[in-house]
Amino acid sequence: MTVNESINVSPWPRDVGAHVALRRVVVGYRLVSAAWLAFLGAAVLWSGAAGRRGVVVATIAVVAAWTAVTVAVAVRRPSAFSSPLWIAADVAVAVWTVLAPEVATSAGPFAGGYPFSAVALAAVNRGFGGGLAAALVLAGFATRRLLLTDSTLVAAINNAALLYLLGAGVIAWGVQVLRDGERQRLAVEAELSREREERRRAAERAETAAHLHDSVLQTLALLQRRSADPVEVVTLARRQERELREWLGGSPRSAGPATALREALEGAAAEVERDHRLTVEVVVVGDAPLDDALSALAAAAKEALVNAGKHAGVDKVSLYAEVDASGARVFVRDRGDGFDPANAVVDRRGLRESIVARLDRHGGTATIRSAPGAGTEVALALPLAGSGRDLRP
């Protein structure tokens, strides 16, 4: 790759870990080399080897300031390091440290390792092209002095020029190797996590398929066999719907006994739906933890549902419950045959025994509104603890 081409290469990947680490190392080297230059400059001043001391002091100040800028850029906007403008400015400061001893009429150079830090920075941030461009410029200015000064400096200057060129090459190559290695590792990791994700999805699919097979497909098979019985079909579909909803909702009803009124009523409704080929529309407003009194209320409500299922001659019953500070109320309503409550025959004794008496023990009331042909509504009311009655045993 030639120097000219290097200006147009695609942006260096800056999100790669190894590259970030290398950049930190180079900025660290810049700090060390700036201190090194300051130390050498101070030695020159101390020994009185420089004719124009102000130039030496100015050079130290410029390098210190530019090093501070370098650190600031590294912290705030490291992407600026790869811009040609930055590299040009950075190399210009380095060139000045090479030329300064001459201007200051110093006996020897005092740039120390500073110029090389510009080569390293360019090589890390722009690869071969950037590194070689910086190295060539600095080597050019260094060897330029060959024509002007005595031969004792020739070896040192040659060494410096060689160091710039070789160093740029080695650093750029090292960056390349590290970057390639990191890319490969990232690719392997991405592949691994993709495979893991695929395995997880496959497992999920298998689990879903198994569930659908055990539930929905079985129900569909049953529906085909029972298609002559519309009530059975509705009951099966309704049960499957309820089950699928619970599964989709991710909160299947806990296996243990209900702990709150809403749960108890929904459980009772599901049971009655299953046993009595009935659709129960459950609406509950508010909720309360289940105690003895509320358990009795739920049991009474279930009894009312069973009664409707047995006697009303309908396929749909409404259950509405509300709980607030004053108490709990449950209404079970059907639009079925109805009956005359004053004339309840023996068969309807379930109402008296298990509904009215059950609630009475907990201070509640049951009201039955019905007339032949006008449907039935059982209204259950229970005052809650806190409204003057302690309902707990």
Chain contacts with another protein (rule: CB under 8 A): 241, 245, 281, 283-286, 317-318, 320, 322, 324, 331, 333, 335, 377
Least Å from the CB of residue 209 to another protein? 21
Nearer to another protein (CB atom), residue 158 or residue 279: 279
Q: Measured between alpha carbons, how far is 195 from 234 in angstroms, rounded to an integer?
A: 44
Rounded distance between C-alpha atoms, residue 328 and residue 364, angstroms: 9
Q: What is the largest CA-CA distance in the chain?
A: 134
> Pairing between strand 279-285 and 316-324?
parallel
Smallest separation, CB 281 to another protein (Å): 6
Beta pairing class for 327-334 and 376-383: antiparallel
Query: What is the edge-to-edge ordering of all strands in the sheet holding 279-285?
Result: 279-285, 316-324, 327-334, 376-383, 365-370
**Residue whose CB is less far from another protein, 159 or 367:** 367
Closest distance of CB 213 from another protein, Å: 21
Minimum CB separation from another protein for residue 309, in Å? 15
Query: Is the CB of 79 or the CB of 367 nearer to another protein?
Result: 367
Give 23 or 333: the residue with its C-beta nearer to another protein: 333
**Could you tell me the smallest distance in angstroms from the CB atom of residue 19 to another protein?**
43
- For another protein, the closer of residues 207 and 246 by Cβ is 246
Q: Identify which of residues 18 and 233 has a Cβ nearer to another protein in the complex.
A: 233
Please return the burial class of 227, using the count of CB atoms within 10 Å of its CB with bins 0-12, 13-18 and 19+.
exposed
**Angle subtended by helix axes 292-311 and 261-276, to nearest 10:** 20
Pick the closer one to another protein by CB: 67 or 307: 307
Rounded distance, CA 250 to CA 212, Å? Answer: 14
CA–CA separation, 191 and 242 (whole Å): 41
Indicate the residue among 170 and 217 with the shorter CB distance to another protein.
217
CB of 168 to another protein, least distance (A): 57
**Closest distance to another protein from the beta carbon of 385 (Å):** 19
Shortest distance, CB of residue 345 to another protein, whole angstroms? Answer: 25
Query: Six-digit token pair at 364?
Result: 């509640």
Q: What angle do CA 302, 306, 312 make, to 5 degrees?
A: 135
CA dihedral of 15, 21, 22, 23, whole degrees rounded to 10: 70
Number of Cβ within 10 Å of residue 231's Cβ equals 12
Helices H, strands E: what count in the chain?
A: 12, 5
